Amino acid sequence: MAAKTIISRPIYGTLSPQPGKHHLFLADAEGALAITDMAARAPAGFFDGAEIVFIPGPEGKYVAALEALKPAQLHIAPSFASLLPRLKQTLTNAHMGLRLYLAGTEGLIGQAMQVALEAGIDHTSMQTEHRGSLARRMQCVHCKGITENVTTQPATCSHCGLLLLVRDHYSRRLAAFQGVCINAEDRSEIPPIEEAFP
């Protein structure tokens, strides 16, 4: 986390078991560990009413650890895009009292939150925990294209190619940080590109 931050930058917490009958978990990669850590503090039978949707990522780890929690449903998805229709359907049909838990990379948390917001769930009611990569999802303010998994500062827009300053300014609606041309005033100035969000 950056030492100095701004108010629009999301702050993540630690997952904790909430009262409720239905619990929906969404996690990617190391986000699974946030769920297993929480499980140690959860009351007996907590996962009987839980659905876990997990994107293991390329390394394919942690699936067994989640299976061991014996959730009512464990769904493994290859990517966020692939689970989107299912997630929208689940949230559309959800009843009052569904609790949402999001864990893993900022990109996963942000995109899942975006879908939940569209379904009318207030963002303050969602449990979030950041685990794993600090990579950012970035919207280019110029061409509006989204670049996924940005790890450098500055970063090149994957759509229009401008070199962008990755700001801390964050939009929940877009699930993205803002990228603004870093050398707009003099394109010959090329600042060093550093690994800022590993």
Which range touches other proteins (CB under 8 A), out of 40-48, 85-93, 128-136, 175-183? 175-183
What is the chain's percent helix, strand, coil content, to nearest 5?
Answer: 25, 30, 45
Please identify, using beta-carbon distances, which residue of 135 and 141 lies nearer to other proteins: 141
Is residue 161 classed exposed, middle or buried when 0-12, 13-18 and 19+ CB atoms within 10 A define those classes? exposed
Token pair, residue 12, equals 């993540």
Token pair, residue 193, equals 């590109």
User: Shortest gap between Cβ of 152 and other proteins (angstroms)?
Assistant: 19
Please identify, using beta-carbon distances, which residue of 160 and 193 lies nearer to other proteins: 160
Token pair, residue 63, equals 């699936």
Please identify, using beta-carbon distances, which residue of 86 and 144 lies nearer to other proteins: 144
Token pair, residue 50, equals 């839980």
Query: What number of chain residues touch other proteins (CB under 8 A)?
Result: 23
Among 22, 75, 88, 169, binds other proteins (CB under 8 A): 169
Q: How far apart are CA 35 and CA 120, in angstroms?
A: 24
Q: Give the DSSP letter of residue 172.
A: T
User: Shortest gap between Cβ of 143 and other proteins (angstroms)?
Assistant: 9
Q: Fill in the per-residue mask, 129 to 148: x = in contact with other proteins (CB under 8 A), - = not in contact.
A: ----------x-xx-x----
Q: Give the DSSP letter of residue 155.
A: E
Query: Does 16 sit near other proteins (CB under 8 A)?
Result: no
Subset of residues 147 to 166 that bind other proteins, contact rule: CB under 8 A: 162
Is residue 26 classed exposed, middle or buried when 0-12, 13-18 and 19+ CB atoms within 10 A define those classes? buried
User: Shortest gap between Cβ of 173 and other proteins (angstroms)?
Assistant: 4
Q: Give the DSSP letter of residue 4.
A: S
Can you give the binding site for other proteins, defined by CB under 8 A? 6-9, 139, 141-142, 144, 162, 167-169, 171-174, 178, 180-181, 184-187
